[in-house]
A and B are shown apart, each in its own frame.
Chain A
Amino acid sequence: MADTAVQRVEGAGISGQRGFLRKTFVHNLPAKIAALPMIATVLIVFVGCTLWTIYYSFTNSKLLPTGKFVGFDQYERLFGTSRWNVSVTNLISYGAMSLVFTLVLGFLLAVLMDQKIRFESAFRTIMLYPFALSFIVTGLVWQWIMNPTLGLQTTIRNLGWTGFSFDWIANPRMVLFALLIAGLWQGVGFCMVLMLAGLRGVDDEIWKAARVDGIPTWRTYVSIVLPMMRGVLVTAVVLIGSGIVRLYDLVVALTNGGPGISSEVPAKYVYNYMFSGGNIGQGLAAASMMLLTVVIIMIPWAYLEFGGKGRQS
């Protein structure tokens, strides 16, 4: 709209080479100057830095990114390192659990909130406040609650249930569930808010029709409303998913990767190799693998969101 209006204001008589140059550089000049920070961010950071990282992940850089090209050596070493493999397995297990539980609990709570209940805004305020807190605060609070010597475990034992056990952060087999409890505490409220917005967006007529047909309420939610909320669901999955791949602060605060290496995650691997391990090539290869993961997650989403638009209408 604005474009055509502006074009009419600019001289229409210019043509050929000069017109092309003018169109590319001079036309709309203040807007282009104003958008320079954005253009620079896109070109230098989002494109430039990504390519740089990918390129240098194929070198044997140690303390400085000056190494020579070594092909897939870093990647071979990466997948030969038990710490990386543990990190990846952890991310997959934690990610799957976190995604499923966040979505299911978020949806369940949203449905409950949608039953014309009293104190709705109080419930919502309480469910969403952890989302305002940092992962560091979240991790440290739960670290204290799950403290095996003075936390919840001891409290319950002192109350008389002497066999009670809740030592998850010190137990390599349970530590991911400890992360999950803290992660859900922080993120479920947000998912609930998204889902509730989705539920409220469903037309009342649908509900009336379902009621007339005598479909039970739960069935209406599962078979009619849920499929109608596809957009919100996809958004929730993408947001939760990209958050999971980034998982870092929470692990640092809650367990710092321990006990041993049993709660390590890829983002922490990257950080440690780049900034304290002095092995940049290895860190960059790990970072590139994280990038690849996100791209694999994003492609179906981008396809659904932008590519398939013609079909859905």
Chain B
Amino acid sequence: MSQTATMAGSAPDTSVGVEPRGPRPKPFFTPTKIIIYSVLVFFTLYFLFPLYVMVVTSFKTMPEIRFGNIFAFPNQINFDAWIKAWTSACTGLTCEGLSPGFWNSVKITIPSTIVSIFIAAVNGYALINWRFKGSELFFAILIFGSFIPYQVFLYPLVMITREMGIFGTLQAVIIVHTIFGMPILTLLFRNYFGSLPQELFKAARVDGAGFWRIFFEIMLPMSLPIFVVALILQVTGIWNDFLFGVVFAGTKNLPMTVQLNNIVNSAQGTPEYNVNMAATVLTGLVPLIIYFVSGKLFVRGVAAGAVKG
């Protein structure tokens, strides 16, 4: 950086042999800066382009789309495609739009998130404060298991849930999400509880508080931030899931991502791209809202997977 910057801003002050001290005042438009910003803006366009196309297309009418310009702004904002996507687009057998899928996703996401976070929080707490024989081994297998492709577990899990009589129900999806959310969440809580001062735990222990009392009265009140991170991670992750929904949920409970894919990819007759894009935006809306509202916490959540204990 300093090389080219010096070249550009060199004219006024290099006549003297001694370097002036302190940072050099730099003009804003050095060639380096221009290159940096052009590259960044180029990538920004690449990242924003699909969002723009998606939204613009969803407000167009089909004749406008057939005109063949995906950049063009709609002549007038038209909500017909959105209404159709929500209420009457065909998802294979039925034509009720995305709304049943949305509610199925809500019904899957809320309990899965709560159950998986609670279990993982208890795991993390037990792993840090109540180590028992083999607990570290279980944890190591858990972490290693998170890298195994889900396809390896699919069929046996189908058999287990079928034996339990819950295959094709919401419970099955919730259990599966809890299982596969466990490694990353346990890691998250274990690292967080490990960073808390151990004296608090010991003091409570000396005062005679037991496992659950310390968990609920001392650990939980101190761990709100990590719960928010876990919440963001799980809600977006479960909302975006496709594979578990399509395998375990059963035809009545298919989540929104599966319904969306059915609307677009198994549609009969002429495809309605505006409806497709409205449905796509609708499905992406929940994670997008979470992303834009949570800001840096989302970054913390996704980076949590990267910081291995």
Contact = CB atoms under 8 A, between A and B. Distances in A.
Interface stretch (B65-73, B74-82, B220-228): B65-73
Interface residues of A, number: 109
Contact of B283 (A32, A127, A136): A136
A217 B3 contact: yes
A211 B3 CA distance: 10
Interface in A265-298: 266-267, 270-271, 274-275, 280, 283-284, 286-288, 290-291, 294, 298
Contacts of A286: 151
Contacts of B299: 124, 128, 193
B192 interface: no
Contacts of B71: 155
Interface stretch (A10-18, A94-102, A169-177, A234-242): A234-242
Contact of A291 (B46, B135, B149): B149
A245 B149 contact: yes
A45 B156 CA distance: 8
A46 B131 contact: no
Nearest to A56: B155
Interface in A76-108: 105, 108
Given A37-B119, A38-B138, A274 B154 contact: yes
Is chain B's binding surface mostly helix, strand, loop or mixed? helix
Contact of A194 (B69, B141, B303): B303
A2 B280 CA distance: 50
B142 A41 contact: yes
Interface string B44-57: 10111111011001
Interface stretch (A67-75, A140-148, A222-230): A140-148
Nearest to B153: A49
Residue of B150, B154, B205, B303 with most partner-chain A CB within 10 A: B154
Interface in A104-145: 105, 108-109, 112-113, 115, 117, 123-138, 140-145
Given A135-B242, A141-B54, A46 B148 contact: yes
Interface stretch (B11-19, B91-99, B286-294): B286-294
B264 interface: yes
A284 B240 CA distance: 25
Contacts of B69: 155, 158-159
A27 B260 contact: no
B305 interface: yes
A168 to B, nearest CB: 15
Nearest to A105: B43
A62 interface: no
Nearest to B205: A5
A151 interface: yes
Nearest to A231: B308
A274 B151 CA distance: 10
B196 interface: no
A202 interface: no
Contact of B236 (A49, A132, A141, A154): A132
Contacts of B291: 128-129, 132
B169 interface: no
Contact of B144 (A56, A236, A298): A298
Contact of A132 (B49, B133, B287): B287
Contacts of B166: none
A252 B242 contact: yes
Nearest to A138: B50
Interface string B1-12: 111000000000
Contacts of A145: 49-50, 53, 70
A238 B147 contact: yes
Interface string A25-36: 001101110110
Given A30-B130, A131-B302, 6 more contacts: A2-B205, A39-B138, A50-B148, A50-B152, A133-B288, A239-B305
Interface of B: 1-3, 32-33, 36-37, 39-40, 43-44, 46-51, 53-54, 57, 65-66, 68-71, 119, 122-123, 125-133, 135, 138-139, 141-142, 144-145, 147-157, 159-160, 178-179, 182, 186, 198, 201-202, 205, 210-212, 236, 239-243, 247, 257, 260-261, 264-265, 273, 276-277, 280, 283-284, 287-288, 290-292, 295, 298-299, 302-303, 305-306, 308
8 contacts: A2-B130, A9-B205, A46-B153, A144-B277, A150-B70, A242-B147, A266-B151, A291-B152
